[in-house]
């Protein structure tokens, strides 16, 4: 019996990208994945999938910090070298850009990581002796 077969029937595999980026249940694609901004719901309200397997840890945050940090620092350097603005202009432009680029993709990327865990049946590693 596979992970998709249970007492409620057969669930065809869905695209992890579509369900994860849409913040939907990785099994049925209908239920909400989150109960808050980043808090994972205990279970799907549509199909009943228990989300206790979901542990994205710091993965999404690390990817976002690396990618958006590169973009924000590049923009700040370009702004400084091109216009030589006052410090407050950096705060008015670069700080909101950094916040936007860090916060906006966090929820969809966390959903994607959880959907990929489900699709690949990821679990904690074990050492066999």
H or E segment at 5? strand 5-6
Angstrom distance (rounded) from CA 27 to CA 44: 9
Domain extent at residue 24: 5-119
Which token pair is 62?
Answer: 């690390």
- Do 32 and 23 form a contact (C-beta atoms < 8 A)? yes
Assigned domain for 25 exists: yes
Helix (H, G, I), strand (E, B) or coil at 116: helix
pLDDT(124) > 90: no
Asked if residue 40 is part of any domain, the answer here is yes
The number of distinct structural domains making up the chain is: 1
Q: Decide the pairing of beta strands 5-6 and 9-10.
A: antiparallel
Render pLDDT for 49-93 as a digit per residue (tens, 0 to 9): 999 999 888 999 999 999 999 999 999 999 999 999 999 999 999
The pLDDT of residue 128 is: 83
Residue 129 inside a domain? The answer is no
**Does residue 26 sit within a domain?**
yes
78 found inside a domain:
yes
Predicted confidence (pLDDT) at residue 35 exceeds the cutoff of 90? yes
């Amino acid at each position: 019996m596979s992970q998709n077969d249970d007492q409620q029937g057969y669930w065809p595999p869905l695209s992890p990208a579509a369900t994860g980026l849409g913040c939907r249940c990785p099994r049925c694609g209908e239920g909400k994945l989150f109960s808050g901004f980043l808090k994972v719901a205990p279970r799907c309200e549509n199909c009943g999938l228990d989300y206790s397997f979901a542990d994205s840890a710091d993965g999404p945050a690390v990817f976002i910090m690396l990618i958006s940090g590169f973009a924000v620092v590049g923009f700040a350097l370009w702004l400084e070298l091109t216009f030589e603005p006052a410090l407050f202009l950096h705060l008015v432009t670069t700080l909101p850009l950094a916040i936007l680029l860090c916060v906006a993709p966090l929820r969809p990327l966390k959903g994607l990581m959880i959907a990929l865990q489900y699709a690949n049946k990821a679990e904690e590693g074990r050492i066999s002796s």
